[in-house]
Amino acid sequence: MRASRFVYTGAITLTLAGTLGFATSATQADPPSKPKIPVLQVDPNWPKMPLPVAGDFGTPLAVSTATGKPKPWVTGEVAGTCVDSQDNVFTVNRGNLVSPETVEAVPSPTVIEYDPDGNVVNAWNTSANQAQIHGCFVDYQDNIWIAGNGDGIVQKYTHDGRTLLLQIGVKGVCDNPPSNTCANSGANPNANMSHTLLNEPANVWVDPGPDPVTGQRGSVYIADGYGNHRVVVFDANGNWLRQWGGVAGAVNNPQTDSPGLFAAGDGGHPHCVVGGNDGLMYVCDRADDRIEVFTKTGGLVRIINVVPGTGQTLGIGGAPALGTAGSAWDLRFTNDAMQTYMFEVDGGNEVLHTMSRVLGTIVSDVGQPGHQAGQFTFLHSNAIDSKGNVYTGETINGRRIQKFVHVQCNNGNGRGNGNGNCN
């Protein structure tokens, strides 16, 4: 890991009542000895190779006429990554093979589960139920949630994938009236309103604690962000509770332009929604190069800049943006109690940033564009296990998962070094 050349004071607060108090109390509540900045090191031998082959885990047997052996699995784009309570790692895979894979390989199941050592221990296929698979989340009961940004549904499965427990939305019918086609609704004033339909949702987060309004556990926060431009919240049974957001105008300055709204284009705005231990929701406004922080009822608290000048915001000295789909893609917090840092996925610059949660500054980063271990091509998602190890998923021309071992003790809480201790 190297020190980041991107440092922004992105935690400038807005004039919302209570914001300054939050920032002050959060800083004062920091432990006397703050955790060291996490050090991550790529593990080039994770996951274990080779992957299973056709015929394994219930996949149809297909034999190569050239080798006489079962054809190997190919994941295609790895759209989402998530980790369960036992540190098993899940990927959701698009299975979109390219030539010559289409001849000498088969698509892997949509969901692959790896044990902590990187061995495949389970796999199952939901590709018949969702188009353009996208987000992955494991809730506090170890159920698996999947979003699909090619249609209008979020689905909840049992841990083993055998049972569909809940579906929010209707497949192929999206919140984009009157035709309800699944596509960017940015110019449609009647969209972003449905209490039953979604529109190409990007990701999901499930609250393990009580909802601030209903008092019930398990509220479902959805980044309804490829077709729509909102965060929408449902209860544990799939009933609409509330929503916030809307379509932003031109955003040149992420701090001041269209606060609380999300980029108008098609591309995942919002692209992530993640709850913090501070009771706030961190939402990725990808093209606008910012993380917008809300209360759980949608009150805007502050805006954290990532790397302005990446998506559609102005760069240094007012220079035009790179236009590389933005810098705010996904995030996960470090596992100390204060969640001192967050790992932020910047697919526009192909970097995994470590950011201060309170200050909003980038303190270090890992990675650069490329195809070797530790480099990224279309970095898309991340997840963190109980030991502080980080897993990243790449789509488009990257098409893989990588593991980054947390090689430094974090805050003396018995986790770190990639093996659960601080020796």
Q: Which of 28-37, 202-211, 362-371, 410-419 comes out lowest in average pLDDT?
A: 410-419
Whether residue 243 is contained in a domain is answered as yes
Q: What distance in Å separates the CA atoms of residue 288 and residue 262, rounded to the nearest whole number?
A: 8
Amino acid, single-letter form, for residue 72: P
Task: State the pLDDT at residue 33.
Answer: 63
Whether residue 8 is contained in a domain is answered as no
Whether residue 417 is contained in a domain is answered as no
Whether residue 4 is contained in a domain is answered as no
Mean pLDDT of 5-31: 40
Mean pLDDT of 242-270: 96
Q: Which residue has the higher pLDDT, 15 or 55?
A: 55
Q: Given a cut of 90, is residue 129 above it in pLDDT?
A: no
Mean pLDDT of 164-193: 96
Give start and end residues of each alpha helix (H) in 47-123.
101-104
Q: Given a cut of 80, is residue 137 above it in pLDDT?
A: yes
Mean pLDDT of 114-143: 93
Domain harbouring 355, CATH code: 2.120.10.30
Mean pLDDT of 361-388: 97
Task: State the pLDDT at residue 120.
Answer: 98
Q: Given a cut of 70, is residue 227 above it in pLDDT?
A: yes
Q: What distance in Å separates the CA atoms of residue 416 and residue 410, rounded to the nearest whole number?
A: 6
Task: State the pLDDT at residue 423.
Answer: 38
Count of domains forming the chain? 1
Whether residue 392 is contained in a domain is answered as yes
Mean pLDDT of 40-65: 97
Q: Given a cut of 80, is residue 187 above it in pLDDT?
A: yes
Q: Which of 249-258, 313-322, 411-420 comes out lowest in average pLDDT?
A: 411-420
Q: Assign 36 a pLDDT band (cuts: 50, 70, 90).
A: confident
Mean pLDDT of the chain: 90
DSSP symbol at 13: B
Task: State the pLDDT at residue 258.
Answer: 98
Whether residue 222 is contained in a domain is answered as yes
Please name which of 423, 387, 400 lies closest in space to residue 40, comparing C-alpha atoms: 387
Amino acid, single-letter form, for residue 93: N
Whether residue 11 is contained in a domain is answered as no
Q: Given a cut of 50, is residue 60 above it in pLDDT?
A: yes
DSSP assignment of 188-237, as one string?
-TT-S--SS--SS--EEEE-SSB-TTT--B--EEEEE-SSS-EEEEE-TT
Q: Which of 4-8, 75-79, 253-257 comes out lowest in average pLDDT?
A: 4-8
Whether residue 194 is contained in a domain is answered as yes
For residue 157, what are the domain limits?
19-406
Q: Which of 364-368, 377-381, 409-413 comes out lowest in average pLDDT?
A: 409-413
Please name which of 120, 166, 124, 175 lies closest in space to residue 147, comparing C-alpha atoms: 166
